[in-house]
Structure formats: structure tokens, C-alpha cells
Amino acid sequence: MQGDSQQPREEHNRFQIALVAAGALALLVVVFFYLFSSGPHSGSGREAHLPFGPEEESYAQSVEFRNFSMSRAENFIHQEVTMLSGEVSNAGGRPLAEIELTIEFHDSLHQVVLRETRRLLGAASLAPNQQRSFTISFEHIPNDWNRQIPAVRVTGLKFA
């Protein structure tokens, strides 16, 4: 008789251990995604915006974008990533060290469903009359995005 009363207690203990292990695993997954899936556009470590006063705003008309294309790929943690590729050219007379872009994805009603700020160039400046290819990746685009090329506009410039 005593063996029968021990069996439910052992099953209950195993269930509790499995429940604690599942909770710990779930917590570990949440921490992993918090640490590794947040990009440079999220969190409190946000970079300051590039200058965009009257001089930069006037020069922004000399920064031209063309040959946009969209593609999808899988990143190293097996997530789908959407990539925007294109070419940027400097049609003005000053070299550019960095360009800050605001990229807006829209839905079928032309409402903004995602707005992100990204930077181009960084290590190598863009001389006058020079062009360069770029690719920007996005990990999380809302499902109601209309699958069209997003709106891209210059919202900051840093002259070299």
C-alpha cells in the first residue's frame, strides 16, 4: 500500500521540476531575444541625430537615390530579413561623411506602418559626383506593409 501513495507524489515532483525547467527555458529565450535582436534603432543607446539645419537641408537636394530593390533572406538565427538596396549619389560640391535617412513603410491606405532612421556611409565618405551602392536590412516589418518600395528621405547630413 505504501508504494501506491509514493507514486503520485513522485509524479507530482517530476511535474514541478519540468514546470520550473520550462519556465527557466522561456526566461532564457526572452533574455536572448532582448539582448541579440534589438538593433541600433532601439533601446536607450540611441545615437544622436545628424545635423539638419538650413545648410544641410539645402544640400540634401543634391543627394540622389535610385535603383531601389527589395529582397528577403534568412539571417544567422534563421529569421526572415527584408533588405532595401539601392544607390546613393552626391550631386553636390561637398564630400559627405554620413547621411541619415528616414525610411517609411506604408500600408494599402498609404498610412505609415513602420518608420526607421538609419545611417549610410560611416567609414568612407562620398565625394562630389560619386555614387555608392547600399543595403539596409529590416528584421521586423509589419504584415500590413503594402510590399512597395518604402519612402526614403534625407533627415541628416554630416559633411566630411
Q: Can you give the pLDDT at residue 41?
A: 42
Q: Are 83 and 89 in contact (CB under 8 A)?
A: no
Q: Can you give the pLDDT at residue 93?
A: 96
Identify the CA nearest to 86 among candidates 63, 112, 108, 107: 63
Chunked into runs of 10 residues, the chain (160 residues) has average pLDDT values of: 63 76 66 50 61 95 97 83 96 96 96 96 90 94 95 96
Q: Can you give the pLDDT at residue 4?
A: 57
Instruction: Tell me the chain's radius of gyration from C-alpha atoms.
Output: 25
Q: What are phi and psi of 37, to 5 degrees?
A: -105, -5
Q: Can you give the pLDDT at residue 45?
A: 46
Q: Can you give the pLDDT at residue 19?
A: 73
Q: Can you give the pLDDT at residue 30?
A: 60
